[in-house]
Amino acid sequence: MEKGFIVEEDKERETLIINLEELGDALEKRLEADENIILDGHYAHDLVNPDTALQVFVLRRAPWELKQILESRGYNNMKVWENLEAEIIGICSSEALEAFPSELVCEIDTSNASTEEILRKMISILNGTAQCVSGEIDWMQYSETLEILRTRPCI
């Protein structure tokens, strides 16, 4: 398992289980050597000291788009719905806001946006030419989200 951080595979959820403590220790060593690092992933908020973070970006996507992407990757129903439900209720945003000062947490709606557009938005926020906002994305106000929830299969 790569660099020893993956400790097992959860076959039912089609995901890998990592050792957060070992990964955190390795990351801390890397942070001592490098001044700036971009950390990407669902566990980033568990690995970074809030005092050292410059900015925290939570990338959000419309659930109806996310559903298509996850299904096209061949994820099983349980994994698709686990991710959809987390996006709909804003789990990643909530966890980021619990771990970091709210002024550091910026939500970006990536729906219908290219990678370049998302990156430009992030750079604008870092440069102070765009506003950092969080707590404004509410997928429950969209009929598409309600339709997705109505069609949720029993898993």
Architecture of the 38-150 domain = 3-Layer(aba) Sandwich (3.40)
Q: What is the mean pLDDT of residues 21-44?
A: 79
User: pLDDT at residue 1 above 50?
Assistant: no
pLDDT of 86:
95
Per-domain residue ranges for the chain? 1-37, 38-150
Sign, Cα dihedral of 86, 88, 91, 93:
positive
pLDDT of 93:
94
Q: How confident is the model at residue 2 (pLDDT cuts 50, 70, 90)?
A: low
pLDDT of 141:
95
Sign, Cα dihedral of 70, 55, 7, 155:
negative
With residues binned 3-state (H G I as helix, E B as strand, rest as coil), the percentages for the chain, rounded to 5, are 50, 10, 35
pTM tops 0.75, yes or no: yes
For 79-126, how does the pLDDT look when each residue is reduced to its tens digit (9 = 90+)? 999 999 999 999 999 999 999 999 999 999 999 999 999 999 999 999
Number of helices and strands in the chain (H, E): 7, 4
For 52-69, how does the pLDDT look when each residue is reduced to its tens digit (9 = 90+)? 888 999 999 999 999 999
Q: How confident is the model at residue 43 (pLDDT cuts 50, 70, 90)?
A: confident
Q: Is 50 helix (H, G, I), strand (E, B) or coil?
A: coil
Q: How many CB atoms lie within 10 A of CB 95?
A: 18
